[in-house]
A and B are shown apart, each in its own frame.
Chain A
Amino acid sequence: MSPRLLDLGDGALTLELSDRIDADLNARVIAARDTLAAMHLDGISDLVPTWRSLTVHFDPLRLNRELLSAHLLQAAQVAPQKSALTTRWLIPVCFGGESGPDLAQVAQATGRSEADVVDALCATELRVFLIGFLPGFPYLGELPPWLHLPRRTTPRTAVPANSLAIAGAQAAIYPWQSPGGWHLLGQTPVRLFDVHDAVRPALLAPGDSVRFTAIDPHEFRRLSFAVAAGDCNRDDWLAQ
């Protein structure tokens, strides 16, 4: 489909590139976001890229809607850069046990061993499609088809913070304790959102790539303490 503009009230506009989930489309969304951001238009408060669209929140008393529309349709034509995956992260995860109470069930439902599930997750390079739902909450994709499972029939009222969870083609990490219906496979010691960092509070950004590396409960505790003590910084989680 060709790009189109959708009215989200009188203070926001959505540039829709597609109605599907697709890594190439997501890269075009990011390219459109970067193009618009570089224009520094007065009156824009937020540029929110999603799977397949870019929403611009603006003040119509300061920025002419027709002008913004024209810029958005132009930005939709910008080809993404070849190195679309800007930052590569390696996130340590403690799988199974208390940290991943659904690992056994997921293994059973997919007809594989727990080790197979863990290996598959660690072998897949995932793309950050979107940050949403909660501050710093990344939607990661896409999982190998055999790992696609429907959500739990009964959502948990409290998913512990830092849980790695999967549902459908997606994986995610909960930066906060929250209700949730995804399958919990493990927990990371990494802090995904730092409220004290006003410049870059979220660790991950759309377009980044993420891989997981398995750690044991002892290492999980050690790293969790180190993060809490402020002995880790974001560069520690960059892939080499």
Chain B
Amino acid sequence: MIEVIDCPLPATFQDAGRPGYRHLGVPLSGALDPEWLAIANALVGNPPHTVALEMRLLGPKLRAMEPVTIALAGEFSARIEDASGQSRPAANWRSHTLAAGDLLQIGSLRSGIGYLAARGGFDLPLVLGSRSTYARAGLGGIDGRALRAGDRMKVGAPPGLCSVAGATVISLQLPHAPVLRAAPLRVIPGPQRDCFTDAAWQQFLGSEFTVSREADRMGLRLDGPRLEHARGADIVSDGVTPGAIQVPGDGRPIVLLADCQTVGGYPKIATVIGADLPRLGHALPGQALRFIAVTQAEALAARREAATVLAATVASICTPGPALDLDALYSANLIDGVIDAN
């Protein structure tokens, strides 16, 4: 069990989402960056789509109520404070074993989002095939809402490996942190490219847009040049998907994300390709975005490359060298009640 001491900004549980229910108006949801979710899970020995905590902008403060092994994926500072008040940094991209009573404080997320995975996952009810939180309809997570202070998160399986004196603490780390590409987001034109003037299309590809403050898991409203419709901004609603860039009457594009609705009535000038959706999920208010058009063949090649890179990243996960594994030693000692690390 992990107790939430403080959670100032929305954090939600996410897994692979709810494919198969979009014809009933149920959004896909799921992790904004499924690649980082997979890495976080691999660091604690979980399957890639195991439910984890997705943190946005600022992380929570948590207390372990029993020994638990967690992993941190993201770019943020985190500290672990033990029951005696001693504090140590907790590195990203590796697993940590918390002793009962340990406090974990996660700072601001420089990469927009980050993940906290727990060995065995979090014990949450499956709702329509997923544990992902979708707050608008109260689905998934804890009572269908974002995390808040006082919540207790039951970890799916006992840590086991690190609870008895002398037992080996299995600690894993990613030797090289993944880098979010800064290149323009690749898009496929349409499905309603023909609802826009050629000038608007050139402006869309040639301009820099800025993520506005209106940014959540449903979508990002962008500031920048207004995109002109060729003939009105209303279409009879049709299907939308995460990555679709819809442009309402005011000409300000909205990039849809994982929690977007299943259909929409605004024309979509272009759609971000699947391979670039994970880094789109990290976009922060104030961040500059550019778009570049690619072909279906290029999008497919990019998907293959992303799958290869993720597989290689997960395969590179290893146990830290003994000399480096101070964290695991600390954890083991705290659990065992042994003072002398030697």
Contacts and interface: CB of A to CB of B under 8 A. Distances in A.
A49 B23 CA distance: 7
Interface string A1-29: 00000111111101010011100000000
Contacts of A52: 236, 238
Nearest to B144: A195
A57 interface: yes
B281 to A, nearest CB: 15
B191 A7 contact: yes
Nearest to B22: A46
Contacts of A45: 19-20
B262 interface: yes
Contact of A55 (B20, B239, B296): B239
B237 A51 contact: yes
B190 A202 contact: no
A10 B239 contact: no
Interface in B284-319: 296, 299-300, 303-304, 307
Contact of A19 (B236, B243, B263): B236
Interface residues of B, number: 45
B212 to A, nearest CB: 20
Given A9-B243, A176-B136, A131 B25 contact: yes
B137 A48 contact: no
B296 A7 contact: yes
Q: Which of A14, A50, A52, A135 has its CB near the most chain B CB atoms (within 10 A)?
A: A135
B39 interface: no
A181 B273 CA distance: 33
Interface of B: 19-26, 126-129, 136-139, 187-192, 235-241, 243-244, 261-263, 268, 271-274, 296, 299-300, 303-304, 307
Task: Give the top 7 A-B pairs by smallest Cβ distance, nearest first.
Answer: A55-B239, A9-B271, A6-B191, A10-B299, A45-B19, A132-B263, A46-B22
Interface of A: 6-12, 14, 16, 19-21, 33, 45-55, 57, 60-61, 65, 130-137, 175-176, 178, 193, 195, 198, 201-202, 206
21 contacts: A6-B190, A9-B241, A9-B274, A20-B236, A45-B19, A46-B22, A48-B239, A50-B263, A53-B238, A60-B300, A130-B237, A131-B23, A132-B25, A132-B261, A132-B263, A134-B136, A193-B137, A195-B128, A195-B137, A201-B26, A202-B24
